Amino acid sequence: GTTSSERDIWFVGYVPQLSTAVWVGNDNNRPIGGGATGGVYAAPIWRNFMLKALKNEPVQYFPSPAKFNRP
């Protein structure tokens, strides 16, 4: 995600074991500029963190919607 004027950029992602968010921006509210987007700046940071955080964890999958009880 990106705010107007490219002041804040973020990416949020999750797997069954962990959810994380990455924010990129300036603490003085100045624009980052250069066509900055969450996919270009924040997503690679998220990916690198998740690879390290889950390095020795087995792959887990979300349960199928069919396994949830209907209200």
Q: List CB contacts of 20: < 8 A, sequence separation 6 or more.
A: 12, 13, 14, 46, 49, 50, 53
pLDDT confidence of 65, banded at 50, 70, 90?
confident
The pairs formed by 43-46 with CB atoms below 8 angstroms and a separation of 24 or more are: 43/11, 43/13, 45/11, 46/11, 46/13, 46/20, 46/21, 46/22
Mean pLDDT for 37-45 is: 92
pLDDT at 39 over 80: yes
Q: At which residue do the structure tokens 């950029």 appear?
A: 9
pLDDT at 66 over 90: no
Nearest to 15 by CA among 49, 55, 62: 62
Q: pTM of this prediction? A: 0.80
